[in-house]
Structure 1
Amino acid sequence: MQLDLNLLTALDALLEEGSVAGAADRLHVTAPAMSRSLGRIRKATGDQILVRTGRHMTPTPRALAMRTEVHVLVQQAHQLLSARTDLDLAGLERVFTVRLHDALTTACGTALVAAVHRQAPKVRMRLTVEPGHDTPELRRGEVDVASSADPPPQPDIRHRLIGRDRIILAVRAGHPLTEGPMTVERYAAADHVTVSRRGSLRDRVDDVVAALGHERRVIVSAPATDTALQLARDADVVVTLPDAVTRSARDQLGLTTLPLPFDLPPVPLYLLWHQRYDDDPAHTWLLDLATRTLQGLFAAPEASGR
C-alpha cells in the first residue's frame, strides 16, 4: 500500500476538531472531501478513528493514543517544508555540541553556557574537548561548532576568524626568569612543561628554539592547559602558551607572565562548522553568540563575517 502523507494532515485536523465538518473548515476543503479522507484513514489504519455518538463524533482509543504523535509529526513536517521564519529563542528546544580547546573551555565555557541559557532556556549543550587531530565529527553532524588554530582544508567546512593571540611564557612569582634580562639561553635552560593529550615532550616552540641553536629542557607534559598552569605554580616549570585565552586562569593562580626572547607568529583562533548549517537560524544564533563570547578574550579581535 502506498503511503499518502496528506492523510496525516487530515488525521491531525480530524483529531483536533473532532468532526468532519470542523476538520474540513480548518483545511479549507469540502466536507465530502474530508469524509473521503476519513474513509481512507480508516482503511489504512484498520480503525474507525472517529465514531458517531448521538450528534457528535468520539475518537476511538487508538485515535486518542496517536493524537499527540500525529500532531508532532505534522508540525515537524511543516517546519521542514516551510520557509525560514524568525527564530523563537524562548521556545527553542535543541541540543548543541560545542567542541573547544581546553583552554577556551576554561576561559569562557561558563560564560557561553550562561549566555545560551539566558536567551534560550530550553536549549541543552555539550561542551567537548578539542582533539589533538582532525576528525570528521563536523561532517557527521556530531559537533555543531568547533575551535581550531587552523582554517579547514575541506571546502564544506566553513570557518570564521575570531582573533589572533600572542604567545608568552608563565612562571611562578619569584621564578629565576623573573630577574635579569630574558635571553634565549636562559629560556632554553629552564625546566619546561608542554601541553599534549598524547604526552609529547616536544612542540613547535622547540623547533624555533632549535633553529636558534638551543634545545629546551622539557621535563614533563601535561594533558591539559590548566594542569600545565598548576605545574608552573607548584613545580617551578615554565609554560609557554597563548596570552588572551589563558589570562584569567593565570591570574587566578598568581602566575607571572613574560615575553618570549624570540619571535613567534600570533596563533589564530577559528570557529568551524559544516555548510549544512548555513541556512539554519538556530545554528547562526549559536555561532554568533560563541563568536562574541570568544572575542571578549581579545583586546583587539579580528573576525570575518559569515
Structure 2
Amino acid sequence: MDWRRLDLNLLKVLGCMLEERSVARTAERLFITPSAVSHALARLRRAFGDPLFVRSGALMVPTPRAAALERSLAVFTASLDLQLDPSRASDAAFDPARSTRNIRIVAPGALDLSLVPRIVAAMREAAPGMTLAVEPFERRSYENDLASGRVDFVLSVGGHTLASDNVGSAVVREDELVVLVGPKSALYDGPDAIETAAYLSQPQVYPLPWPVMQNYLDVVLARSGKRRNFSLLLSSYAGLGEVLTGTDLIASLPDHTAAVLVRSHPTLRLLRMTPVRRSDLTLLWSQAGQQEPALRWMKSVIATAASAE
C-alpha cells in the first residue's frame, strides 16, 4: 500500500482508537459521530487488509497488525506535535504524572531481576500513567528499531551493539561476572574466588538470553579451545535461584543480578572469578527521539536507576 494514497484523516481515527479502544470515546475525542468512526474503520480495514480491531466485551482490542502500527504512529504524531507546537519540546512543559506514554525497551534477561524493577518503581512513583514493555535482547544491531520508534531504548551488555550517528549511547554502569553456587555444589565450601579450570570442571546452568556461542564469555573461552559444561538450559532467569539451591549446578551472571538472587535465596553463595571479568552496560537511544521530553525524562530514569544499583 502506498501511504500517499491514504486519507491521512483516517490515521487520526486509528491513533485515537489505539488509545481509547472504544468507538464511542474515539468519536467524543474527535468531535465526530460514532457512525463516522465506524465508516473510517471500514476504510482502514480495506486499506490494510486486516480487521485491525476485534470486539472483546466493551473494548475494541487491536489485532497484531494494528498493534504493530501503534509505535510508528506514535512517533509520527509526537514529531508532528513538536513541529506544530515547539513549546512541547520543553522539559518544563512535560509532566510525567500526566503522561500516558508507552515506553518500549530491549534488555538482557538478567536485568529483569535487578535493573528493570528499579526502573518500574521510579515510573510508578513519578509517572503512574506511563506503561513499560520490555523485550528480550538479541545480539544484533538495533539501529533501525530505534530510528523507526519500534523501540525507545536498548540496554546492551559488553558493547556489542554498535552506535551510529543516528544512535546515542552512554555507559550507565559496569558489571562483574560472578559465580553463584548452592549448598549441594562441590564449590560451596571452597575459597571465595574460583579459577577458570575449577569453574569449567563444574556442571552449569545457562539461562538463554541469546544462543550460547553468542555469549561473550563463551566466545572468549572458545578462542582458547575451552568450553563450559552445560547440564541445563533455562528459558529465563526466573527459576535460577531454585535450581541452584536444590542441585549441584553453578551459574555465572552479572554481580547485580547475583546480589538479588542471594537476597531471595540466602543459602546461595557468591564467588568471584579469577581472572576478573567485567563488562559495560550501555544504554542506546535514537537521537531524533530525544526531541520528545518524555523520552529525555525516561533516559534519565534508566541511567539513574542503573547507577544506583
Cα distance in 2 for residues equivalent to 1:282 and 1:124: 12
What letter matches 2:145 in structure 1?
Answer: E
1:163 matches 2:124? no
2:182 matched to which residue of 1? 172
Q: How does 1:47-126 map to 2 (within 5 A)?
A: 68-69=29-30, 80-83=83-86, 84-85=89-90, 86=92, 87-126=94-133
User: Which segment drifts farther, 137-146 or 206-215?
Assistant: 206-215
- TM-score normalized with structure 1 length: 0.65
Cα distance in 2 for residues equivalent to 1:157 and 1:128: 19
Match of 1:189 among 201, 205, 224: 201
2:8 matched to which residue of 1? none
Match of 1:246 among 258, 282, 298: 258
Give the number of equivalent residue pairs: 229
1:259 matched to which residue of 2? 272
| Structure 1 residues 202 and 153: alpha-carbon distance in aligned structure 2, compared to 1, 3 A threshold | closer
Q: Could you tell me how far 1:67 is from its partner in structure 2?
A: 8.1
Preserved CA contact (<8 Å) 1:185 1:214: no
| Structure 1 residues 213 and 97: alpha-carbon distance in aligned structure 2, compared to 1, 3 A threshold | closer
C-alpha RMSD of the superposition: 3.1
* CA deviation vs aligned residue, 1:183-226 (integer Å, no higher than 9, x gap): 43322211112232455378443454566675432222222233
Preserved CA contact (<8 Å) 1:100 1:146: yes
Preserved CA contact (<8 Å) 2:183 2:248: no
Cα distance in 2 for residues equivalent to 1:243 and 1:122: 32
Preserved CA contact (<8 Å) 2:176 2:276: no
Preserved CA contact (<8 Å) 1:152 1:158: no
* CA deviation vs aligned residue, 1:95-134 (integer Å, no higher than 9, x gap): 1112222221221323322321321232222222223433
Cα distance in 1 for residues equivalent to 2:284 and 2:81: 29
Give 3-state SS (helix, strand or coil) of 1:226's partner: coil
- TM-score normalized with structure 2 length: 0.64
Preserved CA contact (<8 Å) 2:184 2:245: no
Cα distance in 1 for residues equivalent to 2:251 and 2:147: 34
Q: Which runs of 5 or more structure 2 residues have no equivalent in the other structure? A: 1-25, 33-76
Q: Which runs of 5 or more structure 1 residues have no equivalent in the other structure? A: 1-64, 298-306
| Identical residues among aligned pairs (%) | 18
Higher Cα Rg: structure 1 or 2?
Answer: 1
